[in-house]
Amino acid sequence: MPRHSVRDVIVETALGEFHRTGFAACSVDTITRAAGVPKGSFYNHFKSKEDLAVEVVAKYTAEAEWNDVTDPTLTPLERLRAQFRVMGDVLVGNGYTRGCMIGNMGEELADHSEPMREQVRASLGGWAAGIADTLRAARADGEISTDADPDLLGRFILDAWEGALLRSKVVKNDQPVDDFFAMVFGQLLRRG
Amino acid sequence: MPRHSVRDVIVETALGEFHRTGFAACSVDTITRAAGVPKGSFYNHFKSKEDLAVEVVAKYTAEAEWNDVTDPTLTPLERLRAQFRVMGDVLVGNGYTRGCMIGNMGEELADHSEPMREQVRASLGGWAAGIADTLRAARADGEISTDADPDLLGRFILDAWEGALLRSKVVKNDQPVDDFFAMVFGQLLRRG
* ipTM score of complex: 0.95
E strands, chain B, where?
none
pLDDT reading at B136 higher than 80: yes
Q: What is the pLDDT of residue A147?
A: 87
The parent domain of residue A76 ranges over 64-188
pLDDT digits (tens, 9 = 90+) for A154-169: 999 999 999 999 999 9
| Contact at CB, B155 and A162, closer than 8 angstroms | no
Contact B159 A182 (CB under 8 A): no
For A:155-184, CB contacts with B below 8 A are: 155-156, 158-164, 166-167, 169-172, 175-176, 179-180, 182-183
Q: Is residue A149 part of a domain?
A: yes
Kindly state whether residues A115 and A48 are assigned to the same domain.
Answer: no
Domain boundary among A60, A88, A105: A60
pLDDT of residue B190: 86
Q: What is chain A's alpha carbon radius of gyration, rounded to the nearest angstrom? A: 18
pLDDT band for position A3 (cuts 50, 70, 90): low
Residue where one domain finishes, among candidates B56, B76, B92: B56
Element (H, E) at B7: helix B6-21
Contact B104, B42 (CB under 8 A): no
Angle (nearest 5°) at CA A153 between A151 and A159: 105
Same domain, B41 and B79: no
The model's pLDDT over B2-42, given as tens digits with 9 standing for 90+, comes to 557 999 999 999 999 999 999 999 999 999 999 999 999 99
Report angle CA B158, B154, A170 to the nearest 5 degrees: 50
> Is the residue at A1 inside a domain?
no
- B87, B140: one domain: yes
Residues 58-97 of B with CB under 8 A from A: 97
**B44 and B118 co-located in one domain:** no
Q: Is residue B133 part of a domain?
A: yes
Mean pLDDT computed over every residue of chain B: 95
What are the tens digits of pLDDT across the range B97-127? 999 999 999 999 999 999 999 999 999 999 9
Count of Cβ atoms closer than 10 Å to residue B178 Cβ? 14
Clarify whether residues B10 and B46 are in a common domain.
yes
CA separation for the pair A141, A159 (Å, rounded) = 25
Q: Which residues of A125-143 are buried (b: 16+ CB within 10 A; e: fewer)?
A: eebbebbbebbbbbbeeeb
Kindly report the number of other CB atoms within 10 A of residue B189's CB atom. Answer: 21
Q: Residue A110's CB: how many other CB atoms inside 10 A?
A: 25
pLDDT digits (tens, 9 = 90+) for A55-96: 999 999 999 999 999 999 999 999 999 999 999 999 999 999
The answer to whether B165 and A115 are in contact (CB under 8 A) is: no
8 A C-beta contact, residue A168 and residue A99: yes
- Say yes or no: B117 and B32 in one domain: no
Amino acid code (one letter) for A9? V
- H helices of A22-149, where? 28-35, 39-45, 49-62, 76-93, 101-109, 114-140
Q: Are residues B21 and B101 in the same domain?
A: no
Q: Which of A66, A90, A99, A100 is CA-nearest to residue A80?
A: A66
- B180 and B109 both lie in a single domain: yes
pLDDT of residue B3: 57
Residue A126, domain CATH: 1.10.357.10
**Residue A164 within any structural domain of the chain:** yes
Query: Which CATH number covers residue B27?
Result: 1.10.10.60
Q: Tell if the CB–CB gap between B164 and A159 is shorter than 8 Å.
A: yes
Same domain flag for A54 and A109: no
Same domain, B72 and B164: yes
Q: Which residues lie below 8 Å from residue A8, measured CB to CB, with a gap of 6+?
A: A1
Q: How confident is the model at residue B1 (pLDDT cuts 50, 70, 90)?
A: very low
pLDDT digits (tens, 9 = 90+) for A31-48: 999 999 999 999 999 999
Our count of domains for chain A comes to 2
Whether residues A46 and A96 fall in one domain = no
Is there a domain that residue B1 lies in? no
Q: Are residues B122 and B72 in the same domain?
A: yes
Number of H helices, E strands in chain B: 9, 0
